[in-house]
Amino acid sequence: MMKRYGSVEAGGTKFICAVGNENNEIIISEAIPTTTYEETIKKVIVFFEKNRVDALAIGSFGPVDLDISSEQYGCILNTPKQGWTNVNIVLPIQKALNIPIFFTTDVNSSAYGEMHLNGCNNLVYYTIGTGIGGSAIQNGVFIGGIGHPEMGHQLIKKHPLDVNFNGVCPLHGDCLEGLASGPSIEARTGKKGQELEINSTVWDIQAYYIAQAILNTTLVIRPELVIVGGGVMSQHHMLDRIKMHFKKLLNNYVTIEDIDKYIKTPSVENNGSATIGNFLLAKNLLIKN
Amino acid sequence: MMKRYGSVEAGGTKFICAVGNENNEIIISEAIPTTTYEETIKKVIVFFEKNRVDALAIGSFGPVDLDISSEQYGCILNTPKQGWTNVNIVLPIQKALNIPIFFTTDVNSSAYGEMHLNGCNNLVYYTIGTGIGGSAIQNGVFIGGIGHPEMGHQLIKKHPLDVNFNGVCPLHGDCLEGLASGPSIEARTGKKGQELEINSTVWDIQAYYIAQAILNTTLVIRPELVIVGGGVMSQHHMLDRIKMHFKKLLNNYVTIEDIDKYIKTPSVENNGSATIGNFLLAKNLLIKN
Ligand SMILES: Nc1ncnc2c1ncn2[C@@H]1O[C@H](COP(=O)(O)OP(=O)(O)O)[C@@H](O)[C@H]1O
Ligand SMILES: Nc1ncnc2c1ncn2[C@@H]1O[C@H](COP(=O)(O)OP(=O)(O)O)[C@@H](O)[C@H]1O
Ligand SMILES: [Zn+2]
Ligand SMILES: [Zn+2]
């Protein structure tokens, strides 16, 4: 019989549940608003009780505990989202459905999907939205020794036209997220990214920072491919700006054969690569068992 | 019969050849001055013809081609060292000795040795010398998708007292290596690191940059342990300065249980961990075959 795989994209605004077939095609999906922990998880369980799957992968907003040997495995850790700190989002679903569950970060799910869609084994994924998240895969294995990456908080150099801006990260001020996330645009200009005129120098400043992040992970990890997604990247001019800065900053130090194939936006709209990534991660559980 | 393993630390000044036993003890070693390519490799071969080993690992200055499927595998690539660009340092040794050879970067060898000496599986290694090199290991596997890391050229934020210094990297100016390598000290002060007074603010500036590099790789890779070695770290006060800046910059964003166990200098003096790393990497070749 054809197997069915489940995906949960656990986000701060909504939990997207989906069921896929062996070909990663979505059979049914539902967006559940993120309300209280109990109510949200209950609705996820109800969805999968109605729509049975053989295995499930959950990609969650973070930080999360991914260490299977830890007591907190499956928990969302210290999140600013009220009522969601130290709640376990794997255990109750596992108990109710009694199927294998793979638990990871939302960016890891997206990265895994993109790896498959691009047919490669080594990739870095950045999402530039309300926060900045990052994921890396080497030879099909997620990078993250004692925890998942937190690439959004790396430190980078200031743009000459941005020296007086202190950044919006509550913890670090001018880390990457503090300087290049969506809210940093609003802090600089008083306008949301979707409203800011295309010829504002702020775009170039943002692109300069994102290019540095890509450069740093290029030099640390040496991936085959870098995907940049998230709300801010819906500005289509951003990709070219990032590539331009990346090229200039790298100055040919390592060989990137074709920059248009090296830095790309996601293959599927609306973070659909996370769903596919989850289907594949769920499938892996059955292969391994 | 006891096996014997060989180590070559191929450096710009000297090639250190060593033979070790099953317990990673050095039986004999010799430092061969790095002169011409032909002469140096010839002497390495003569050493191992006199002192036979069952397998050999070479940790080389770089950049090098580590891709076994590449035609240039075993070559030193574009190096400023005259006469050493595009020379193959594996092939002639392999032909002469006819034993399995593992080829990697000098920092990878050191990192592998430190992994063993510290009994861990996930680690980052930085060396702060004439240049800055970096290596990372996850679950015993070197990180480096389409090539070895080049962490020395990552970009970081400027120290407020260092804004007018442009850095010494010929390619990037103020990348990490441009700002925190040994030669950057000389460029700022006119004095070599070994001559600079201990109360110079330059030490604090250097430590600030090295701390940022450790922070960035902490957030990208999440290692268990970070080792910092190289000539500049012979200044024993540097380790404490680096830890102080690291703590302040990280601002508890991810949990580091004990910083004194997290950031350390190498376990063996004079880069001896590279020799042990090479013995282990050579041993692996026989286990795998
Ligand atoms: N078209 C757009 N252009 C620029 N910025 C945008 C656009 N759409 C959303 N953003 C910004 O991206 C951020 C939201 O990121 P998004 O990836 O959509 O969601 P989230 O990160 O909250 O999951 C907000 O700061 C928003 O202003
Ligand atoms: N005791 C010391 N204090 C500070 N800097 C030092 C010291 N010893 C060496 N250095 C500096 O470190 C650099 C050499 O680094 P080293 O790791 O010894 O060799 P290399 O990187 O060339 O293999 C030089 O710039 C030198 O000035
Ligand atoms: Zn931050
Ligand atoms: Zn550089």
- Which of A220, A246, A256 to substitute to test the interface with B, most B CBs within 10 Å? A220
Quick one: which of B185, B135, B134, B176 has its CA closest to B158?
Answer: B176
Quote the CA–CA distance of A286 and A288 in Å, as a whole number: 5
A37-95 per-position pLDDT tens digit: 999 999 999 999 999 999 999 999 989 999 999 999 999 998 888 999 999 999 999 99
Amino acid identity, position B18? A
CATH of region B117-268, choose from 3.40.50.620, 2.60.40.10, 3.30.420.40, 3.40.640.10: 3.30.420.40
Q: Tell me what pLDDT residue B205 has.
A: 98
Query: Are the CB atoms for A129 and A186 separated by under 8 Å?
Result: no
Can you tell me the distance from the alpha carbon of A37 to that of A74, in angstroms, rounded to the nearest whole number? 13
Q: Chain A interface, mutation test: which of B253, B255, B262, most A Cβ atoms within 10 Å?
A: B253
Do B5-109+270-288 and B117-268 share a fold?
Answer: yes
Q: Chain A residues contacting B, CB < 8 Å?
A: 63, 121-122, 134, 136, 138-139, 141, 143-158, 171-172, 174, 212, 215-217, 219-224, 249, 251-254
Phi (first) and psi of residue B208, to 5 degrees: -60, -40
Q: How does pLDDT run across A85-122, given as a tens digit for each residue? A: 999 999 999 999 999 999 999 999 999 999 999 999 99
The C-alpha atoms of residue B156 and residue B158 are separated, in whole angstroms, by: 7
Residue B274 CA: which ligand is closest?
2
The CATH fold assigned to A110-264 is Nucleotidyltransferase; domain 5 (3.30.420)
Per-residue pLDDT, averaged over A240-264, amounts to 97
Using one digit for the tens of pLDDT, what is the confidence trace for B243-266?
999 999 999 999 999 999 999 999
Helix (H) and strand (E) counts in chain A? 9, 12
Averaged pLDDT, A24-33 = 97
Report which of A232, A254, A167 is spatially closest to residue B157, judged by C-alpha positions.
A167
| Residue ranges for chain B with pLDDT beneath 50 | none
CATH of A5-106+270-288, one of 3.40.980.10, 2.60.120.1030, 3.40.50.300, 3.30.420.40: 3.30.420.40
pLDDT of residue B289: 55
- Give pLDDT, residue A288: 65
User: What pLDDT is stored for residue A289 in this prediction?
Assistant: 55
Q: Tell me: domain B5-109+270-288, CATH 3.10.310.40, correct?
A: no
- Cα distance between residue A257 and residue A19, in whole Å: 38
Q: Give me the pLDDT at residue A221, please.
A: 97
Min distance A108 CA to chain B CA atoms (Å): 13
Q: Is the pLDDT of residue A7 over 90?
A: yes
Encode pLDDT of A148-159 as tens digits: 999 999 999 999
pLDDT value, residue A108 = 98
Pocket of ligand 2 (CB under 6 A): B 11, 129-131, 182-183, 192-194, 230-232, 234-235
Q: How many CB atoms lie within 10 A of CB A97?
A: 18
Q: Six-digit token pair at B111? A: 């990192």
Q: What pLDDT sits at residue A78?
A: 87
pLDDT tens-digit readout, B112-121:
999 999 999 9
Whether the upstream peptide bond of residue A223 has omega within 30° of 0, thus cis, is no
Ligand 2 centroid to Cα of residue B231, in Å, is: 3
- Give domain limits for chain B: 5-109+270-288, 117-268
